[in-house]
Each structure stands twice: as structure tokens, then as C-alpha cells.
Structure 1
């Protein structure tokens, strides 16, 4: 039969259909549906919200309902007994439908959104970053996994997380709950969750990830021009460096040796001065690998310059984790002298 002779029913079957449950919705399937619509196959898919198995069986992909997880059948539910799937790569939180869809389709979503080639190694970096910073919490909340496994009582309640905001879009107990109203609210929820995901992805792709590239280049340049031991890293511009440094130090394929960097020097964001900062002992630590000399701590301006013998000093923090100088050369001298003391 030619395309001109195709019936409306046959043409309609060519459109992919996503299935999920009706009634009260949650953040995980709202996001899962949005993510699927960022893939090539399901970009223009229709949506069926139902718990009727016969209708779900007509769908091309089903998420968060149906009691089946089988990639080959495009079924992605997590409620069934015995389901223990996790994301892997060091993550052990049980997946929700958001995590399942992201695990199987996330790299394609990232590639389509960033326009990076599918085989670009940055895709893998962003895929893992977005799971850690965005998806895992949705998985945990939907599966009832406490953020405080030792059951410490929080000092306050927060209902501003994405899962709570999506949940609040459900009709209240005394509002209309007809299917059309709930489906309309689900569309808002899917858009809310998806827009937040895309916003986070754009930040990590366009701001967070470029900082990693600059750090790698700066480490190499600093070893060549500033300090061959790698203990001092010079940045010619301010950038978020701590997380990247520790992740790259832990990566066996990286050329950055664990524990090697002691001080970083970079321009102050606002004053036109320069900063020298001690690298912390770990990514979450307030302790430094080697704090700036104690005899400098808490001193400022001329007194600090006199005690240190370095012109142009501005301050050294009382804890010795950071200091300032009016020039790049002065900040580098603070770092070099501190290494010797």
C-alpha cells in the first residue's frame, strides 16, 4: 500500500507511545517521560496514563507501572518484588523509573542536548555527574530511602526539593480529580522536572565541565613554568577547582598525582588582587594539606608584609587556608615561601 493509501489508523501506529500510570503522579515518572521525549525514538511520542494492562501492552515503552523491568521489552518499572537494580559506578541507591530511564537513555539525552558527539568522553563525565547531583535524590525519595540512615532527627523540614514541588502539583483532596485535570497537571510536572534537569545539564556542560579542562591545562602549564613539583597551581582566571582536582587525583587515567598540589594561586573575582589558597585535605575537609604559616595567620597589610618579607600582602586568614596579595607575583611568592616553612 502506498503512503497515499495508508489509513489514519495505520499512520497513527507509526507514532511511538509512552505508557505510565494514571492517578497521583510523582517526580520519577514525570522526569522519566520528559527524558524519553529528549531521545530520537520517543521525541514525538504520545502519552497514555493508565493502569490497564491491555492498554499498556499497546505502548512502545512503559515506565513506573507494569511490574516489569526488561530493557529488551522497553519496560521500566521498579515496584515489583525482587527489584534491586542500582545505577552502578559506585552508586548503590535503588533506582526509580527516573533512574532506570536515565541509566539506559541518559547518555543519548545528554548528547542530544549538548550536541556533543555520542562517543565524546565528556558524555560519560556529565552522565555520572548528573546522576550524583540530580537523579539519585529522586530515586531515593521515590523509594523511601532516608537521607539520614542513622535516623538523626533533622532540625527543620524542607519541602522545596524537586520531588516535593512535583508532588504539590497533584490536585488536593478537595479539588477535582477527573482524568483530564490530573493529566494536565502531570504535563506541568513533567515540564517542571525536565526544565530543571536541562538547566542543570546546561550548567554542568557549559560551566562546570570547561573548568575541568582549564584545571588540566593549568596544572601542566604550572609544572612547566611555575613549579616543576606540581605543588603550586596557577590559574589565570577564577574557576571552581576543588571538586575537579580531587576527582582527577582519584582517576588512574589522569596525569594529576594524588596529594601533589598544595597551593593554588588565582585572581580575585572583584578587587583585581590575587589569592593563594591551601588545598584542603579532602573535598569536604576544613583542614588543609599544608596551611599557610601560623606566624602569618590573622595578620594584614604592612604588618603581614613585614613579617613575611613579601611586598603587597593584604591578609592571611586566621586558619591559614587562604591569603591575598596585590599582585600575581606576590601571591606566588607567598605560596613558594610557605612551602619552605
Structure 2
């Protein structure tokens, strides 16, 4: 398949669009040119040509009536390509992705990485010195360089692929974690306590999965030897808790904490009352149950 984009100086949108298409379509013959004849003969064109027609596989966005997202944000070429080819690209970027998480991963990448490039390319979002768009543009040859633009584009694309692969795999891990947290919540003996068999990011599942009753999340430490009882904040990034741990436990450790909490193998309770721990799963669950029974410090 012959795929065409513009020659010369490149930006993050055309570089990332090429990476998405390589993953979605397999080996492609990518040509960088502004020759109207070559553009007209191509199987797919992006970021050049003056035509936006998805049915004809034409994905330029440099026109007065430019394509926009549902919220009015203008697309860049990678936004258009990700919209139509991102789902096909994901199995190559994340080989073990499951059918049930594919849409979630596609959406997260679109909401974060792809949208930020759309905004930067169209001049409607803040672009700090460390912004991904500027880092990709830095691959363009300097004024005194003899390096061909196509060579530099290939180097930029290799880096962009690494970024996209990592972002997709992180989004996949987050989606898988949400599935596990929701499954644990369904199996919970008490809907206010979710017990996980490993440490993983649970916040997104709690807030986006409708787990409004959950007060505490129980999970093992990464290196073993302890289990933790974490109070759930009332909202993302909050320093409060839906239900704080009892005042009488806070700041205590080991024997003193065990005695105050009424268990045998307590480890600690943080002075702020948002987390405590014990050496066994059973005791840590008991800590959550006792905190609920005491009903102390409910966030307002």
C-alpha cells in the first residue's frame, strides 16, 4: 500500500500518524512528497493534499472547514488516523490485549496522548518546552545540518513508536487493573471493603466504576510481609477519606498499634489516618471492619 504525507519539516501529528498506520496496516510504502500526481495516485494520504474524505482515505486537516471532534476541537492528522485506524493498530502495539479492554485502551490514548497532539498542532493548547510535540519536532535537521529530512523523520518515528507502545501498554495495564478491581468488588463480603490479591492501581475503577460504597481497599505489599488497608478518598486526588481510620490508632506502630486496634500482628497506622497495615490479610480486613464499626472521622 502506498501511503503519502508531506515532505520537508515534520511535526508530531504526521510522525505519530505514520506509526499508527504502520501498526494498523502492516508494511507500507511511505512516501513523503508534495507532488500532486503522486498524492493523487496514493492509496492513503495524510497531512497533505487539501482533502478530507475518510472513504477515499484522505486525511488532510489544513482547510477552512477542517474536521473537528464532537466537542469542537480540531483534529490533526494523527487524531484522524487514530480515530479510524487506532483500533486496528492496538493488537500490534499491545500483542496481548483482550477484546474487552481494547475500546477502553483506545479511548484513553485518544483522550490523553492523541488529543494533546491535536491541540498542539492546531495551536489551541499549552505547549511547554517539554511537550511531546516539541520533542518530536526537535528531530528536524538544524539549519546547518546535512541530514536528509526523510532520515530525520524515520528517527523521529522510531522514538514516537516507543512512546506510543509504552503509553498503550500502560493504558492496557490500567484497564486490566480496573477489571480485577471490579471483579473483587462483586465478590466482596462487605461492599464497603474491597480485598485485592495483589497491589495494583484501583482508584480509576472505584471512581469510574460506580463503587460509591467502598470505604477501604485491602492489598498486599509489593515485597510481601505486610498487608495494607487504604482509606478511599471522596474524589480523585483528594487528601481526605470517605472514612478515616480511628483517631486512637493514628501514629502508632507494632505492639502499641496492635493493642489499640485489637489485633495481634499490627504494623502501623499513619498519623493522617489514611492507611494502616498488619502482617496478615485476615488482620488487615479486621482493621477495616473495626474502623467501620467505630465510624470515626467520616469525611464531610
Taking structure 1 as the reference length, what is the TM-score of the superposition? Answer: 0.80
Name whichever of 328-337 and 298-307 sits farther off: 298-307
Separation in structure 2 between the aligned mates of residue 24 and residue 330 of structure 1, nearest angstrom: 62
Aligned twin of 2:57: 74
Is the aligned partner of 1:19 residue 2:4?
yes
* Secondary structure at 1:39 match in 2: helix
Superposition pairs of residues 112-261 of structure 1, within 5 angstroms: 112-114=92-94, 120-147=99-126, 158-159=129-130, 161-176=131-146, 181-205=148-172, 207-223=173-189, 227=190, 230-249=191-210, 258-261=211-214
Which runs of no fewer than 5 residues in structure 2 stay unpaired?
Answer: 295-300
Residue matched to 2:32: 49
CA 1:232–1:165: 2 relative to 1, 3 Å: same
Deviations 1:283-324 (A, max 9, x none): 222221111122322222222222222322222112211111
- Local SS of the residue matching 2:41: coil
CA contact (8 A) 2:220 2:226 kept: yes
Going from structure 1 to structure 2, the CA distance change for 1:29 and 1:74 (only over 3 Å counts) comes to same
Deviation at 1:84, TM superposition (A): 4.6
- Contact 2:19–2:157 (Cα < 8 Å) also in 1: yes
2:298 alignment partner in structure 1: none
CA contact (8 A) 2:101 2:176 kept: no
Q: CA 1:116/1:317 → structure 2, altered by over 3 Å: closer, same or farther?
A: closer
Q: Give ranges in structure 1 of 5+ residues lacking alignment.
A: 1-15, 149-156, 250-257
CA distance in 2, matches of 1:334, 1:214: 23
1:51 deviation in Å?
Answer: 2.2
Aligned to 1:103: 83
Question: 3-state DSSP class of the match of 1:209?
Answer: helix
Q: Is the 8 A contact 2:14 2:77 kept in 1?
A: yes
Mapped to 2, the partners of 1:96 and 1:105 lie a distance apart of 14
Task: Give the whole-Å Cα distance in 1 for the aligned partners of 2:97 and 2:48.
Answer: 33
Count matched residues.
Answer: 294
Q: Give, in angstroms, the shift of residue 164 of structure 1.
A: 2.3
- Aligned to 1:335, which of 288, 292, 299? 288
Return the offset for 1:125: 1.1
Report the Cα distance in structure 2 between the residues aligned to 1:81 and 1:165, rounded to whole angstroms: 28
1:31 partnered with 2:31: no
User: 8 Å contact 2:206–2:212 — kept in the other structure?
Assistant: no
* 1:162–1:193 contact (8 Å) kept in structure 2: no
Deviations 1:182-207 (A, max 9, x none): 111111111211222123223433x3
Q: Which moved more, 1:277-286 or 1:305-314?
A: 305-314
Partner Cα distance (1:84, 1:113) in 2 = 26
Q: Distance in 1 between matches of 2:121 and 2:80?
A: 12
